[in-house]
Amino acid sequence: MDLSDKWALVTGAGRGIGKGCALQLAARGADLIVNDRPGSPDLATTVQEIEALGRRCFPVEADAFQRTGCEQMVSDAIARAGRIDILVSNVAFSDRCSFLDYPPELFEQTLDGTLLAGFHVSQLTARHMVERGEGGKIVFISSVQADRPFAHCVAYGAAKSGLNHMMRTIAVELFDHRINVNAIEPGWIDTPGEHETFGTDRIAAEAAGLPWGRLGTPADIGKAAAFLSSDDSDYVTGTILRVDGGFVYRECRRPELDPELDRVMPLVLEGVVKRDRLSNPVGTEDEALLERFAVRLGAALLVGEDHLDPRSVHAVEVVLQEGVDPVLQDVRQVPHGEKGRQCLVVREERESAAAEVIVKTAQPEDDAE
């Protein structure tokens, strides 16, 4: 993908996904106009890294959440570079809050900063592209939240869903001008904002359970943006490219399990999810984490290399060192009790610490002591 002799405008390029897109475009030969909010402490670093790649780069500080700010940004970009061949619209605002408590003004702010801002910058840039008459590329950064509901993200999900539909409509209207308009849906991406929201420890623990075993990176999104900005995507428009490492399908990879699963899984769920019986055995208040752990235990019971006979499962007990997140890394059977009852041991090692989860299979009452 050769982007030589192209000028690209990337919004929100101070850090995270916007910066990742700018760097990947530059790595393929594009020159950059990079935008971030006025007073951004990060934009200068982005400029330095792009110039280190041998590309020209002009910073434009402007409030992309406002029409006047977008007008200033596009005008300054054209004045500095002479033209805009590529737009990567990465402007967005998000603040988590439950639906019942969501302040109306925060909802409006999220729509303005995510959907309306994307409209402003794309309309102004597209007018310039149409006037030049040489086509162009517009890439919106959307989100998997446009398609999947996430609690406490009612405004952001609605804004991104609207952004997707807006993108398609813009693509249709710009057919005759040969301006390709597409969107990228990132999954869970390892950005400074995510670490600020969730914390590094939780991100590391959750990442291990994702299909690719990691969060995505800004470079992953940048590579997709580079493709959609290149001639290689000439026949692609009005399309949403999901870049999520299987994130949205992470709960769909359960193997074909023994028919006894329907009988065994309620026991596992009861033992793990109902914390009132086990005093929160996994040391977390995260219901989703508890349920995912329970499902993984159930799968291990039935399809582990040395799986237990599901017909022998009559009760489940979970014992775990407090405060250690459950990560199934080693599953094995060991004898338990004087009569050789089997149990499942799940061992986790992290930073020289270890914990064991023991799932005991109690014998039927007529075999009990």
Query: What is the C-alpha to C-alpha distance for residues 167 and 212, in angstroms, rounded to an integer?
Result: 29
Structure tokens at 76: 């300054």
The reported pLDDT for the residue numbered 201 is 82
The reported pLDDT for the residue numbered 209 is 79
Q: Could you tell me if residue 171 is inside a domain? A: yes
Q: Could you tell me if residue 270 is inside a domain? A: yes
Q: Could you tell me if residue 2 is inside a domain? A: no
Q: Could you tell me if residue 255 is inside a domain? A: no
Q: Which of 249, 269, 295 is the last residue of a domain?
A: 249
Q: Could you tell me if residue 256 is inside a domain? A: no
Q: Quote the crossing angle between the two packed helices 43-52 and 16-27, to the nearest 10°.
A: 20
Q: Are 228 and 143 part of one and the same domain?
A: yes
Asked if pLDDT for residue 86 goes beyond 60, the answer is yes
The three-class DSSP label of residue 152 is coil
Q: Could you tell me if residue 113 is inside a domain? A: yes
pLDDT bracket for residue 336 (50, 70, 90): very low
Q: Are 119 and 208 part of one and the same domain?
A: yes
Structure tokens at 242: 């999901």
Q: Give the other-Cβ count within 10 Å of 108's Cβ.
A: 12
Q: Are 105 and 235 part of one and the same domain?
A: yes
Considering 114-123, 207-216, 255-264, 352-361, the range whose residues carry the highest mean pLDDT is 114-123
Q: What are 140-186's pLDDT values in tens digits?
A: 999 999 998 888 899 999 999 999 999 999 999 999 999 999 999 99
Q: Are 155 and 202 part of one and the same domain?
A: yes
Q: Are 282 and 157 part of one and the same domain?
A: no
Q: Could you tell me if residue 1 is inside a domain? A: no
Q: What are 29-52's pLDDT values in tens digits?
A: 999 999 999 999 999 999 999 999
Q: Are 243 and 323 part of one and the same domain?
A: no
Q: Give the other-Cβ count within 10 Å of 289's Cβ.
A: 17
Rg of the Cα atoms in the chain: 26
Task: Annotate 25-63 with b (16+ C-beta within 10 A) or e (fewer).
Answer: bbbbbbbbbbbbbeebebbeebbeebeeeebebbbbbbb
Contacts of 106 (CB under 8 A, 6+ apart): 95, 97, 155
CATH code where residue 123 lies: 3.40.50.720
Asked if pLDDT for residue 280 goes beyond 90, the answer is no
Predicted TM-score of the model (pTM): 0.71
Q: Could you tell me if residue 184 is inside a domain? A: yes
Tally of structural domains, the chain:
2
Give the number of C-alpha atoms closer than 13 A to the C-alpha of residue 4, restricted to the C-beta side.
2
The reported pLDDT for the residue numbered 164 is 98
Amino acid in the structure at residue 164: N
Closest-CA residue to 75 (of 58, 92, 88, 90): 58
Q: Are 185 and 321 part of one and the same domain?
A: no
Residues annotated as part of the active site: 156, 160
Q: Are 204 and 244 part of one and the same domain?
A: yes
Q: Which of 219, 249, 279 is the last residue of a domain?
A: 249
- Spacing of C-alpha 9 from chain mean position: 23
Count of residues for the chain?
369
Q: What percent of the chain has pLDDT over 90?
A: 57
Q: Are 96 and 235 part of one and the same domain?
A: yes
Residue 145 near residue 160, CB atoms below 8 Å:
yes
Contacts of 328 (CB under 8 A, 6+ apart): 296, 297, 300, 346, 348
Q: Are 282 and 240 part of one and the same domain?
A: no
Q: Are 206 and 313 part of one and the same domain?
A: no
Task: Annotate 258-276 with b (16+ C-beta within 10 A) or e (fewer).
Answer: eeebeebbebbbebbbeee
The reported pLDDT for the residue numbered 266 is 54
Structure tokens at 160: 């991104």
> Which residue bears the tokens 């039927």?
364
Q: Are 311 and 350 part of one and the same domain?
A: yes
What's the domain range around 241?
A: 7-249
Query: What is the C-alpha to C-alpha distance for residues 100 and 240, in angstroms, rounded to an integer?
Result: 31
In the chain, which ranges are continuous DSSP H helix? 16-27, 43-52, 67-81, 104-111, 117-132, 154-173, 192-198, 200-207, 218-228, 261-272, 275-278, 287-303
Task: Annotate 169-196 with b (16+ C-beta within 10 A) or e (fewer).
Answer: ebbeebeeeebbbbbbbbbbbbbeebee
Q: Which of 216, 249, 282 is the last residue of a domain?
A: 249
